[in-house]
Structure 1
Amino acid sequence: MTDPTTSVTTVAEGIARISWSPDEPIDVIRHSVVAALLDHARVEALVDPGDESAQRAATWSGLRREGVMRGVTVDGDPVDRVVYARLATDAPLNEPEGFRALLNSFLPRKRAISQMLLRDRDGRVLLCQLTYKQDWDLPGGVVEVGESPQLAVGREVEEELGLTLPVGPLVLTDWLPAWSGWDDALCLVFDGGEHDASITDSIVKQAREIRSAEFCTVEEVRERCADFTARRIESALANLGTGRSAYTESGR
């Protein structure tokens, strides 16, 4: 049995790459990271996504998870590697900010989508025909990093439809499981209020994303939307006026 070893190699100007044997104590790896940062601006490690022990070692050695590098050639074969790194300018781990940043780098993150439920006086729902898929959907879009979901839906409606509208309370949280290349996500449906049907005359479509927008009956919603979208809309409609936000999974 060989002794544990840690290797630090300069791979570019100011960048060191560290690797270690499976039995290497974390304190030794951490010390090697600190020592390498005396002469480098960045220390990084490429870790096998299937090696949970190595991922834990990277984390508790102070390296932040940055993402997955796909198709790295190792021993002649393309493989994926999780990239961990620490910069000389990162806050020390013994400071609250530094420890929180370390945890934030590897804790799960979930995509959020905000949508607006707009109705006319007859109870029809405003749907958008999108340029990038066949199904119709509620107006809205992806929440940006650091953005409030409630502000996001107002921004999306203004950008896509040219409508500046007050955003009401949350009426539904719908979890969408991973599907067809998409990670799972939370869809948050906000009350957009009731409007005269003539509001569609004021719509200025964002041509890159919106083909058309019109008020639709529940029957038309079922015809035009994906089944999970139709279920979400019907669940949101059913929850209006209850004074609380409902929770569904794929609209159920």
Structure 2
Amino acid sequence: MRPTKTPTPADPDAWNAYLAEGNAKQARKRVAADVLLRDPAGRVLLVNPTYKPGWDLPGGMAEANEPPEDAVRRELIEELDLGVVLRGLLVVDWVAPHGPWDDQIAFVFDGGMLDQDQADRLRPRDDELSEVAFVTPDEAGVLLRDRMRRRFEGAVRALEMGRPLYLRDGVPVM
């Protein structure tokens, strides 16, 4: 039996079917996108999700084929009725498989500083959040669970350094 010849772009239907088969075999990654937002006093915004323990940065999971920056903007509107202009990328964190979860890529973007009126008006807008709070970075370190605390600390460090950081489970590797 002769081996099957690999399709070429000269046969678009066969080529696309060949590529789709390869795509179906590739790993899929969960993607999270969060934002570091500050108030005029330099405090950071944390949210208290109802669906998991501990405080978190605002943001959430990307939907299928949704860019991370669009995901974080969507989540801010859905959960806080807040539109922001992202000022850049602070962190990319590869999170190893844990518990029932496969690995994940987590992004943290710089959302800049809200004015005092915006900060004062923030309230949870859906049932995924029970509270919002502006806290000092030290207080955030106490309220955040280990994985998110390391990512938050990386984001603060990246902001101070003026360049994004790549983390592996919250630990800088480059």
Same fold (TM over 0.5): yes
Q: Find out whether 1:153 has 2:72 as its counterpart.
A: yes
Q: How big is the shift at 1:151?
A: 1.1
Match of residue 221 from structure 1? 140
Whether contact under 8 Å (2:80, 2:123) holds in the other structure is yes
Give the paired residue count. 168
Q: TM-score, normalised by structure 2?
A: 0.86
Structure having greater relative contact order (Cα 8 Å, sep ≥ 6): 2
Structure 1, 193-202 or 104-113: larger mean CA deviation = 193-202
Give the 5 Å matches for 1:78-157.
95-157=14-76
Match of residue 51 from structure 1? none
Answer 1 or 2: which has greater strand percent: 1
Q: How big is the shift at 1:163?
A: 0.5
Q: Find out whether 1:250 has 2:169 as its counterpart.
A: yes
Whether contact under 8 Å (1:119, 1:125) holds in the other structure is yes
Compare CA radii of gyration and give the structure with the larger one: 1
Name segments (4+ residues, structure 1) moved above 3 Å. none
Whether contact under 8 Å (1:200, 1:214) holds in the other structure is no
Consecutive unaligned residues of structure 2, counting only runs of 5 or more, are 5-10
Q: TM-score, normalised by structure 1?
A: 0.61
- Local SS of the residue matching 1:167: coil
Report percent identity of matched pairs. 37
CA distance in 1, matches of 2:111, 2:165: 16
Amino acid at match of 1:170: L
Q: How big is the shift at 1:201?
A: 2.8
Residues 240 and 26 (structure 1 numbering): CA distance in 2 closer, same or farther, change over 3 Å?
farther
Q: Find out whether 1:194 has 2:113 as its counterpart.
A: yes
Consecutive unaligned residues of structure 1, counting only runs of 5 or more, are 1-24, 31-91
Whether contact under 8 Å (2:87, 2:112) holds in the other structure is yes
Q: Find out whether 1:184 has 2:106 as its counterpart.
A: no
CA distance in 1, matches of 2:2, 2:78: 49
CA distance in 1, matches of 2:89, 2:2: 45
- Local SS of the residue matching 2:69: helix
